[in-house]
Structure 1
Amino acid sequence: MERSDICSYVLVNCRIPICSIDREFDLVPDREGIATFDLEIQDGAIASVIPSTIDGFTDLDGDIEKIDLQHGMVLPCFVDMHTHLDKGHIWNRTPNPNGTFANALQVVVEDCDRYWNADDLYRRMEFGLKCSYAHGTKAIRTHLDCPINQIEISLGVFKELRGAWADRLTLQAASLVTLDRFMGKEGEAIADRIAELGGVLGGVTFLHPDLDSQLDRVFILAKERHLDLDFHTDEN
C-alpha cells in the first residue's frame, strides 16, 4: 500500500501480525511474527501501512495528527461464526435459575411463544449487532430458531437487519431445526427460504435410528440449492 497524498491522521506505534499485511517489508518481526507499524487513516479507512522508525514515529510531511498507540495491538476485524442473536438478552424476563442446558432450552421455547414478535426480535438482535460492531466484529453468522409459527417472523427480521447494517457488518443466517423437519415438504420450504436469504442450512443432530437418512436428506436439499451446511453436533 502506497502512502496517499492526504490523510486525516496517523496511528503510530501499532503492533501488527505481519501475516495480516498484504505486502512484504524489509524488517524483522519478533518471535511471534509481530512488528511495529504506523497506519495512515483517510476517510475512515486504512490508506497505507508504514514500518515505524526507530523512535516509533514515521516521518510524514505536514501537520498530520499522530495518535500514539504505545505498542498496542491492531488486528483485523473479527468474524463471529457461531451466534444466536435471536436468543440474546432475555434473562431479565425469562431467567434460567438452575443454569442447566435442558432448562435453557425450555425457557427459550417459553420466551419465544410469549414474546418473539418482529419488534422484540429486531430490538434484541440489533443490540447484539451494536455490541459486536463496537468490539471490532465485521462478519456474523447467526443461527435462527425456526419453529413453524416463527420462521417467517425471524427470517424477515434478519433480512431487515442485514439491510440496515450492510455498510458495517456482513450477516449470514443459518436455520436451526431438528433434522426430522427436513424429511418432508416442510424441509423443502425451509431450505428454499434459507436459499432465498443466501444463508446456510443448519440443524441439530440427535442420536436417532433415522439419523443416517435424515443426514442424507439434508445433504440432498443443500446440494440442490448450492447451500453450505452448519450442524449442531454436540448436544447429545
Structure 2
Amino acid sequence: MNDREFINAIDADGMPLHIAITNGRISHIGPQRASTPARETIDLEGLLVLPGFVDGHIHLDKSFVGDRWRPHQPVASLRERLAVEKRELASAPPIVERADALMRQAASFGTLAMRCHVDVDATTGLTNLHAMLEARDKWKDLLDIELVAFPQAGVVSCPGTAEVMEAAMREGVQVVGGIDPTTLDGDADAQLDIVFGIAERHGVKVDIHLHEPGDICIAQLERIAARTQALGMQGLVAVSHAYGLGDVSDGVVDRTAEVLAGAGISIMTNAPGEHAFPPVLRLRNGGVRVFTGNDNIQDAWWPYGNGDMLQRAMLVSYRSGFNTDDELRVALEMATEASAGVMGKQDYGLKVGNEASFVLFKAPNAAAAVAAAIHERVIVRHGAFWGGPAQLQLKAVQFATELRR
C-alpha cells in the first residue's frame, strides 16, 4: 500500500498527473491513478506540479538577507568592491545567522539543493567555510548544499590562498573554485595549475568564475577545456558567468561550444542585467549544458534577489528574449534538471524511485508559471506538505485549498 497519493494534478505540459508516495519516494507517477491503494488521498484539483528547484550558483556567506537594508555602494574596480564588502561584512550579523535566513527563504520558494561558493583565501582562512558547514548541517534534511572553495581575491596574486584552498578540501569541500586567471591573477597557467592540481589530488570538481571579456574569455575556456580533457574530468568542470561568450560573434560561439561540449564543460549564467552573457540556446544547440543560479543576493555586490529560482528562470527568459513555451521551458530546465546534473544529484526529478519533493502552483503549465514567476506555491518534501513563501509554519491542506481558489 502507498502512503499517500496526490491526484488530479497536471504536469509541465498541462496534462493529467497522479503521484503516489511510499517512504518519501515516488512509487507511481503518470496520467492514470496508481493501481495500488494509498492510506491517504489528496485531491490537488488541477494544480501544476514542477520538480524542486536547484540553485546552481549562490553565495550564502555574502548575503545580508535577514539583516537591515544596506544601500548599494558604487565602485570603480574589483579591489574597491572587495574593500566595501569587507567593511560591510564586519558590521553584519554572523555568517551562520545570515546564511540561515537565506536558506530558509530559498527553501520556502521550493529550492531543495544549492551549489554554494564560499570565500576561502589567505585573509579569511577557513572562517567562512566553518560557518557554512555549521549552517549546512542545520538544513541537511531539507537542502542538499554542495560547497565550492572560492578564491574571491585571486589565487596566484593572493599568496597563501592555494594552501587554504587545499585545506578546505580536507574539510570536505566538494568543488574547487577559481577566478579570472588572466585579468585578476595575471598568470592563467599558474592559477589553472593550482586549481586543477587540487582537483586531481582530492578527486573534486571544478567551478571557475570567469568575468573576462571577449577573446580573453574564449582563450581561457580553451585552456580550461584542454586541462579538463587531459585529466579525464569530462562532466566535472563548470565555468560560471563566462561573460565573454556574449561579446563574440556567433561563429566564435559555435566553435567554442564544440570545444566545451567535447570536454563536457557546463556553463552557468544568471543573466545579469549589466553584462553581456552567454547565448543560452546557441550553446545548448552546440551540446553544452547551461544551468543557472541566483549568484549574489542582497549583498555588497548588488542589491537584488530573494532566493526564488522560478523568478531567476523568468529573468533568464526575459534577458534572453525567450517568448515561446519551449524557450520558457529551457529556462525552467536550467533551474532544475541542468543544475541538478551539474551537482550530480542521483535521485532528483519526477520519476519513480526518486525523492518525492516537488512544488505546486496554480498555473496551466510550466511555461505560464515561468513567464509569471508565480509567487504563491506549496512545497512538498519527502512526500508531505512542508511550506511555502507565505506560510512557513504550514497548515498544509488549508493553504493548498486557498491556493486552488
Shared topology, TM-score over 0.5?
A: yes
Residues 124-163 of structure 1 aligned to structure 2 (within 5 Å) = 124-163=98-137
Superposed CA RMSD? 3.2
Partner of 2:43: 67
1:95–1:107: 8 Å Cα contact kept in structure 2? no
Q: State TM-score, norm by structure 1.
A: 0.72
Uncovered stretches (5+) of structure 2, i.e. residues with no partner: 214-405
Matched, 1:221 2:198: yes
In proportion to residue count, which structure has more strand?
A: 1
2:120–2:164: 8 Å Cα contact kept in structure 1? no
Matched, 1:7 2:3: yes
For residues 1-50 of structure 1, what are the alpha-carbon distances to aligned partners after superposition, in whole Å with 9 as ceiling and x for unaligned? xxxx2434x32222225xxxxxxxxxxxxxx5x63211234565544324
Residues 90-129 of structure 1 aligned to structure 2 (within 5 Å) = 92=68, 94-98=70-74, 105-115=82-92, 120-129=94-103
- Report deviation, 1:156: 1.0
Partners of 2:208 and 2:19 in 1: CA distance: 40
Partner of 1:165: 139
Q: Larger Rg: 1 or 2?
A: 1
Partner of 1:200: 175
- Report deviation, 1:130: 0.8
Partner of 2:28: 48
Partners of 2:189 and 2:108 in 1: CA distance: 42
Indicate the larger mover: 152-161 or 208-217.
Answer: 208-217
Residues 81 and 182 of structure 1: CA distance in aligned 2, closer, same or farther (over 3 Å): farther
- Secondary structure in structure 2 of the residue aligned to 1:88: coil
Residues 149 and 50 of structure 1: CA distance in aligned 2, closer, same or farther (over 3 Å): same
Partners of 1:165 and 1:171 in 2: CA distance: 9
- Secondary structure in structure 2 of the residue aligned to 1:87: coil
Alignment counterpart, residue 191 of structure 1, candidates 154, 166, 179: 166
Partners of 1:228 and 1:62 in 2: CA distance: 42
Matched, 1:85 2:56: no
Aligned AA (1:67):
D
Higher RCO structure, 1 or 2 (CA under 8 Å, sep 6+)? 2
Q: State TM-score, norm by structure 2.
A: 0.45
Partners of 2:56 and 2:38 in 1: CA distance: 43
Partners of 1:16 and 1:200 in 2: CA distance: 34
- Report deviation, 1:126: 0.8
- Report deviation, 1:105: 4.2
Residues 168 and 86 of structure 1: CA distance in aligned 2, closer, same or farther (over 3 Å): same
Residues 15 and 49 of structure 1: CA distance in aligned 2, closer, same or farther (over 3 Å): same
Partners of 1:188 and 1:156 in 2: CA distance: 16
